[in-house]
Amino acid sequence: MTAHKTYWLEHAWLGTHVEPGVALDVTPDGRIAALRTGADAPPPGAEVLRGLTLPGLANAHSHAFHRALRSLVQVGSGTFWTWREFMYQVAQNLTPDSYFALARAVYAEMALAGITNVGEFHYVHHAPGGARYADPNAMGEALIEAAAAAGIRITLLDTAYLASGFGEGPNHHQLRFSDGTADAWAERVSALKPREHALIGAAIHSVRAVPADALATVAAWAGERGAPLHVHLSEQTAENDACHAAHGRTPTQLLADHGVLGPRTTGVHNTHLTDADIALLGGTTTGTCMCPTTERDLADGIGPAGRLQRAGSPLSLGSDSHAVIDLLEEARAMELNERLRSHTRGHWTANALLTAATADGHAALGRPDAGRLETGALADFTTVALDSVRTAGPLPRLGAETAVFAASACDIRHTVVGGRHLVRDGVHTLVGDVARALSEAIAAVRG
């Protein structure tokens, strides 16, 4: 891109309201140069985006290879723990090449859903049996390159995963997840380098998978680099019970004791919390990433998102296991779950839910300069059709409510990343036939 490019937005969500007729200029380096309201018609040469344009959506929690489990795990009954056995089977079949192909297709599906940035919670590091590849970061590099090939941004949350439970070493499935020690994990991940579309962050898989005396090592690595730090937290009551038995405290309290909590940290799920846990998370401004479609799919429970936010914990959203990839559905589900629990309506406005899906999600992934349609921000945005069978009828000024409570990923018409038109009229410009790419990549890893 050698000159300013202009997009004309028929309607734009500006964080607090929907504005009709907005001209948006993009700098050569992919940032928003200017926003001009009151543009009743497209300026000469502008690309026209009809519908409601939002900042690009941030998928703050992803396990790309779980996409291969869609529908497969819906046969019969079971629990999170039985679901996990299916997950292990797919994980064992991954190679750097097959993971690149699968992640490229999954990230392209995300782009079609309006997602411009993904937080990939990455723990499949080594070959089956635990042997390192010639490049110890071959799997992480495959994910970074897959995001580039699909045209979206990624924060690779390289995950420490060292144990199968409190006081237990990794089982045979988990050997390829483990670096052996936190110091070895830190040495390996330090070789990963950020690039324009990719940031490097850290993750603690869970308090059951990282021994207590190793938590501070992971936290220190992230702290020294100002990097995002994510952790699965109290997703299951069994984890809470085991933590109490081993340490006499909740997982949240254990993380606090070892310096893990804080404004760069995001707890994923945060489902089964005590009042003291909520106060700790809110008081340290530790974020909360809710993944409602996965949490309901795995029968995890409904997390106290409203109480967490009121306590001071910023909310973001993720599609996690990719039972579906639809951030609008995640936003809607968070509100509707709270309605089911409380028997009252209206816990978050549409604006607040979109903020969780955009600005606060990007911030959780280390990109506070994304997720807003404003001068200087990254030129990442997506357009929702307002004339589909789901969205037709409401007044355009209610576009935020329409997007959250009626639209779906199927209604995404355009996606722009860094000023580049990545999805045009519902077609991915880099991957083309995304459904075929998904089918082929999933067949290759199912074995």
CB 323 within 8 A of CB 295: no
Question: Of 173, 170, 239, nearest to 208 (Cα)?
Answer: 239
Which residue intervals of 78-234 are DSSP H helices? 80-92, 96-112, 138-150, 182-189, 212-225
Whole-angstrom CA distances from 309 to 218, 315, 340, 419 are 26, 7, 18, 32
164: burial class by Cβ within 10 Å (0-12, 13-18, 19+)?
middle
75: burial class by Cβ within 10 Å (0-12, 13-18, 19+)?
exposed
* Active-site residue flag, 277: no
Task: Return the H-helix or E-strand segment holding 404.
Answer: helix 399-405
Phi-psi sector, 203: left (phi>0), alpha (psi -120 to 50), beta: beta
Phi, psi of 69 (to 5 degrees): -90, -10
Contact partners, residue 241, CB within 8 Å, separation at least 6: none
Kind of pairing between the strands at 427-428 and 420-424 = antiparallel
Q: How far apart are CA 390 and CA 404, in angstroms?
A: 11
Strands (E), 234-339: 265-269, 287-290, 315-317
* Active-site residue flag, 326: no
Kind of pairing between the strands at 32-36 and 18-26 = antiparallel
CB 260 within 8 A of CB 282: no
Per annotation, catalytic residue among 320, 360, 380, 411? 320
Per annotation, catalytic residue among 63, 125, 230, 269? 269
Contact partners, residue 356, CB within 8 Å, separation at least 6: 290, 315, 316, 317, 331, 334, 348
Task: Return the H-helix or E-strand segment holding 277.
Answer: helix 275-283
What are the residue numbers of the active site?
269, 320
